[in-house]
Amino acid sequence: MQTLQTTSLRVRDNRLWILDQQALPQQKAWLDASSVEALVAHIHALRVRGAPLIGLSASLLLALLAENGMAKAALAQALDVLRAARPTAVNLMNNLDRMKLALAQEDYVAALSAEALRLVAEDKILCDNIARAGSERVAPGSRILTHCNTGGLATAGVGTALGVIAHAFQEGKIEQVWVDETRPLLQGGRLTAWELGELGIPYRLICDSMAATLMAQKQVDAVWVGADRIAANGDVANKIGTYSLAVLAHFHQIPFYVAAPHTTLDPHCPDGSAIPIEQRAAAEITGVAGSFGQVQWAPENAQVWNPAFDVTPAALISGWVLDTGVVTPEEVAAGRFQPH
């Protein structure tokens, strides 16, 4: 396969490398992800994360395994293992469905490689389209609040919600970005803050629990988030804490937008109650770990409930900004969620 480079993915000498997102921002380390076991471990540890990026990394690995001589039956098994690596992020399933069709072709090696590269190229275009469509919804002088990380670290392109923010900033519309730290793994504090700094976009980092006070003080003009899965009725699964922001935004009459590619849609999922929610390790709440080491602050025997995602009902969303256009609440209320 040709050499490939995005913010978070590399293909060199027929090997896949991922940027370790658990080490950022203190370290910029590239990790080998050239086996199914290695990539699944990276996904589980969130060293590679972001719904679009997870799907792309799995697709690229399958293509590389085929080029490196893995048999067709073994590739099919590898596809199934990768598919189960992150149950909530539907981009992974959508991308691997396309890779499965490529695997069924007679010249499956060439087909897998072409499809994986096509998916990467498409994601870049999807991100650009989302950024342009979303920027039209950003008023001049906006103070935007965002949650988790939705930039180039999570996609092959400029990102989803963060791509919108970057495009709007280039158009002179952004005064400041409020960045939720995003408990428990701090993707906002570690990743979004780093990306905004790299882009030269002014931001201020806040604890998740500070958002309500900011809104009450009229310091937030809009909330922009990404999505890991969008159900057929417009309900959205995203990083835990998103639902809280949507409720707060609704109470304070602040627009709440979801930015995502069409690959995040799941037409087979009727509503948010049918979205599988991943439960993660207790250690993520009882302490903290990173490139600095590990700290335990809760009692060793503390009982923990740690869902990775929550579901925001469609009724709380001001608009779904897709690469295909903006879906309005009126369109959703008139029937099933239908992208343009």
Average of per-residue pLDDT across 307-335 = 94
Question: How large a percentage of the chain has pLDDT more than 70?
Answer: 98
For residue 211 the two structure tokens come to 């958002």
Write the CB contacts of 86 (distance below 8 Å, at least 6 apart in sequence): 43, 54, 92, 278
Average of per-residue pLDDT across 71-82 = 97
Of the residues 20, 180, 228, 310, only one is catalytic, namely 228
pLDDT reading at 278 higher than 70: yes
Would you place residue 170 in the very low, low, confident or very high pLDDT band (cuts 50, 70, 90)? very high
Average of per-residue pLDDT across 80-108 = 94
At 227 the pLDDT is 96
At 300 the pLDDT is 87
Average of per-residue pLDDT across 141-145 = 98
Q: Which residues pair with 312 in a beta bridge?
A: 236
pLDDT reading at 6 higher than 80: yes
The residue type at 242? T
Active site residue 228: yes
Residue 206 burial (10 A CB sphere; 0-12, 13-18, 19+): middle
| pLDDT single digits (tens) 207-265 | 999 999 999 999 999 999 999 999 999 999 999 999 999 999 999 999 999 999 998 99
Q: Which residue has the higher pLDDT, 115 or 89?
A: 115
Burial 5-44 (b: 16+ CB within 10 A, else e): ebbbbbbeeeebbbbbbbbbbeeeeebebbebebbbebbe
pLDDT reading at 1 higher than 80: yes
Do residues 61 and 16 lie in contact, with contact meaning Cβ atoms separated by under 8 Å? Answer: yes
| Edge-to-edge strand ranges of the sheet holding 265-266 | 265-266, 229-231, 236-239, 309-312
Domain boundaries, the chain: 4-128, 139-333
Rounded to two decimals, the pTM is 0.92
At 340 the pLDDT is 62
Average of per-residue pLDDT across 53-70 = 97
At 167 the pLDDT is 98
Q: How many CB atoms lie within 10 A of CB 315?
A: 13
Measured between alpha carbons, how far is 60 from 42 in angstroms, rounded to an integer? Answer: 15
Measured between alpha carbons, how far is 55 from 66 in angstroms, rounded to an integer? Answer: 17
pLDDT reading at 90 higher than 70: yes
Do residues 42 and 33 lie in contact, with contact meaning Cβ atoms separated by under 8 Å? Answer: yes
At 291 the pLDDT is 66
Do residues 327 and 260 lie in contact, with contact meaning Cβ atoms separated by under 8 Å? Answer: no
Write the CB contacts of 136 (distance below 8 Å, at least 6 apart in sequence): none
For residue 107 the two structure tokens come to 């010249």
At 256 the pLDDT is 98
Average of per-residue pLDDT across 79-86 = 95
CATH superfamily for 4-128 is translation initiation factor eif-2b, domain 1 (1.20.120.420)
Dihedral sign of CA atoms 81, 85, 88, 90 in order: negative
Average of per-residue pLDDT across 54-67 = 97
| pLDDT single digits (tens) 280-289 | 999 999 998 7
Measured between alpha carbons, how far is 164 from 138 in angstroms, rounded to an integer? Answer: 9
Q: Where do the DSSP E strands lie in the chain? A: 4-5, 9-12, 15-19, 30-32, 142-146, 174-180, 203-206, 222-225, 229-231, 236-239, 256-259, 265-266, 287-290, 293-296, 309-312, 319-322, 325-327
CATH superfamily for 139-333 is Translation initiation factor eif-2b; domain 2 (3.40.50.10470)
CA distances from 317 to 165, 258, 274, 280, 326 (A): 18, 7, 19, 27, 12
At 336 the pLDDT is 66
| pLDDT single digits (tens) 289-308 | 766 778 899 998 999 999 99
Average pLDDT, the chain: 94
pLDDT reading at 89 higher than 90: no
